[in-house]
Amino acid sequence: MTKRIQITSALPEAYKSVASLHKLVQQAAADAGLAPALLELIRIRASQLNGCSYCVDVHSRDALKLGESQRRLLVLSVWRESGLFTEAERVALALTEEVTRLSESRDLPDALYEEATQVFSEEQYVAVMWTIGIINMLNRFGVSSHKPLSEQVS
């Protein structure tokens, strides 16, 4: 694999701003009552869809540290068929897939939006959508940079 410029480290001030945005969204999610593990499921699923091995690795490890089960992480790519995810998690994962694949679908279906706004409060919905947006941006940097997996395994 061709070694490439690491976009996030090549412009550290921009990456610091993204990291600050990430923290802000995480705090908004916490303030809205969303579980941190739900946000990690969103990050992992988007990263799976985008093919970002670095982000799948990092966020899977973070999810495990938060108490997520290995079994659920192993079936996350087939979450619809597993029966292991709550209603809120299923809606968040459906939103993640739709927004991540926006170039294919061109829209977020009204039915999914309606379901999401019934399951999540406005503040929760906003935090979920921002989480999806941020991880998709970071996935694009990671994939196009061939970001290597961390040597550190915890």
Q: Which of 25, 23, 17 is nearest to 126 (CA)?
A: 25
Q: Are 120 and 88 in contact (CB under 8 A)?
A: yes
Give me the DSSP letters along 66-99: TT--HHHHHTGGGHHHH--S-HHHHHHHHHHHHH
In the chain, % of residues over pLDDT 70: 97
> 103 Cβ partners below 8 Å, 6+ apart?
none
Say what the pTM is: 0.94
Categorize the per-residue pLDDT at 1 as very low, low, confident or very high, splitting at 50, 70 and 90: confident
The b/e string for 85-109 (b: 16+ C-beta within 10 A; e otherwise) is beebbbbbbbbbbbbbeeeeeeeee
Q: Are 4 and 145 in contact (CB under 8 A)?
A: yes
Structural domains of the chain sorted by starting position, each given as residue range(s) with its CATH number in brackets: 15-145 (1.20.1290.10)
Q: Which of 51, 21, 64 is nearest to 147 (CA)?
A: 51
C-alpha–C-alpha distance, residues 42 and 12, integer Å: 25
Categorize the per-residue pLDDT at 154 as very low, low, confident or very high, splitting at 50, 70 and 90: low
| pLDDT tens for each residue of 2-28 | 889 998 888 999 999 999 999 999 999
C-alpha–C-alpha distance, residues 10 and 67, integer Å: 34
